[in-house]
Amino acid sequence: MAEHFSDPFREQRALERGDALVVLGTADQGATGVVRLTGRDRLSWLDSLVSQEVSTLAVGESVEALLLDPNGRIERVLHVVDDGTATWILVDRDPQGVTEWLDRMVFRRDVDVVNVSDEFTVVALLGDGPAAQTVAPLAVAPNGVALSWRDPWSELAAGGWQYSSNEGHPASRWHYREFMLDGEGMTALNGLIASDKIAQAGTLALDALRIAAWRPALADVDETSLPHEFDWLRSAVHLHKGCYRGQETVAKVHNLGHPPRRLVALDLDGSDAGLPESGWTVALAESPEKHVGHITSAARHFEEGPIALALIKRSVPVDAELIVLAPGVAADGQAANGDRAMAARQTVIVPPTAGKAVDVPRISRDRVRPTRN
């Protein structure tokens, strides 16, 4: 796993064309981990825990699901695929923690939960081009089905809801896939990379394309994040499935309320050599002392230049000019170390009107007194 191989822009172009791959590494390198579920109850049991419909998951079908806390806040993002005999879950960060939590949730059900992260390496790419054609035959296929997760972000998933506008939505160009390779498969892949038969890109290139596609990830989540704030209902939430932890909040915010924050895409001032980091403050340009949000992730795109995703307050006007402040930058935009405010232009992803999907009629409080004869 590497951030880049000397030329992130070239790597972005190769990834976008489907000519390159990204080795995400193994869980002990802080990369993607793998959890395996077996047993006849695995899908119905998992369905009772997560935000997405998985009870009828077909062989080889991929879904994205969220683990939420009782208040509907995002705890985990799960990439799920089933091969007919086992369900495989790809997770960012701490797969052992996910395994232990899931195992505690097994009550008198035929389900076995095992962390198998040390057996696999996850390889990511875009599309079905040369890179996919090279990696697919090397993927593990324990039941005759190659273990490949296909990201549903490129279109609205069944049972989901999209707050963002379809017009100009960049998700249509995001055809992301993850393959699971064992040691033998990785040995073969490394040989192909060493002989220049397949190109390798770094994680910086992948992240830049993800941000340009408005694709949220666990890296964008904080301790109070709700799915609605990221437009995550379009890919990872089924609004008509059975109960699961956090469902009441998901339904209440979507049907009756509004998410308190909204995700925006930012075009950043390119005159600065650096990029903002996750957690940097977003403020109003006309009133820099008014902090309205924070950066969740940022990158330098080969066509769009410096870009970022940010969570801001729902009340911020959609045409408001914004600035990004590094730690230590004062309201006047200056800091002792020479840093300054970075201008940012927002593009709406989640509109301020998101939510309130059900029009509840108001009940008149005027009481009609009966007339007496």
Q: Is the pLDDT of residue 342 over 80?
A: yes
Looking at the structure, do residues 108 and 206 belong to the same domain, yes or no? yes
Residue 18: count of CB within 10 angstroms of its CB: 18
355-367 confidence digits (pLDDT tens)? 999 876 666 565 5
Q: Is residue 324 part of a domain?
A: yes
Tell me: do 193 and 277 sit in the same domain. no
CA gap 77, 61 in Å, rounded: 17
Residue span of the structural domain in which 200 resides = 8-220
The DSSP secondary-structure symbol of 3 reads: S
Give the residue carrying structure tokens 């956090």: 246
The Cα 138–Cα 147 span in angstroms is 10
Residue 210 belongs to a domain: yes
Residues 59 and 189 in one domain: yes
Task: Give, rounded to a whole angstrom, the gap between the first and last alpha carbons of the chain.
Answer: 87
Q: What is the mean pLDDT of residues 168-186?
A: 96
Rounded Cα distance between 291 and 7, Å, is 35
Question: By the 8 A CB rule, do 89 and 79 touch?
Answer: yes
Output the 3-class SS for 71-120: CCCEEEEEEEEECCCEEEEEEECCHHHHHHHHHHCCCCCCCEEEECHHHC
For 303-358, give the secondary structure using H, E and C: CCEEEEEEEEECCCCCCCCEEEECCCCCCCCECCCCCECEEEEEEECCCCCCCCCC
Note the pLDDT of residue 293.
Answer: 97
Note whether 180 and 329 are same-domain residues. Answer: no
- The alpha carbon of residue 262 and the mean position of all alpha carbons in its chain are separated, in whole angstroms, by 15
Taking the model in full, what pTM does it have? 0.92
Which of 190, 220, 250 terminates a domain? The answer is 220
pLDDT recorded at residue 234: 97
Same domain, 85 and 165: yes
Q: Which of 40-44, 295-299, 340-344 comes out lowest in average pLDDT?
A: 340-344
Question: Residues 84, 20: one domain?
Answer: yes
Tell me the helix, strand and coil percentages in the chain, rounded to 5: 25, 25, 50
Does one domain contain both 195 and 296? no
- Same domain for 161 and 294, yes or no, is no
Instruction: Based on the fold, state whether residues 179 and 274 are members of the same structural domain.
Output: no
Q: In terms of domains, do 343 and 281 share one?
A: yes
pLDDT of residue 21: 97
Please tell me the total count of domains within the chain.
2
pLDDT for the residue 271: 74
Q: What is the CATH number of the domain that holds 298?
A: 2.40.30.110
Q: For 220, which DSSP code?
A: G
User: Taking the CB of residue 371, how many other CB atoms lie within 10 A of it?
Assistant: 5
Which among 197, 220, 243 is the end of a domain? Answer: 220
Residues 80-105 have a mean pLDDT of: 96
Mean pLDDT to the nearest integer, 59-73: 97
Confirm whether 230 is domain-assigned. Answer: no
CA distance 120 to 128: 22
Which letter, b or e, does each residue of 307-344 get, where b requires 16 or more Cβ atoms within 10 Å of its Cβ? bbbbbbebebeeebebbbbbeebeeebeeeeebbbbbb
On the question of pLDDT at 336 being above 60, the answer is no
pLDDT, one tens digit per residue, over 255-285 is 999 999 999 999 999 776 689 999 999 999 9
Report the CATH number at residue 167: 3.30.1360.120
Looking at 191, 220, 249, the residue that finishes a domain is: 220
Instruction: Say if residue 267 is in the same domain as residue 142.
Output: no
Do 212 and 308 fall into the same domain?
A: no
Say how far residue 244 (Cα) sits from the centre of its chain.
Answer: 20
Residue at 367 is within a domain: no
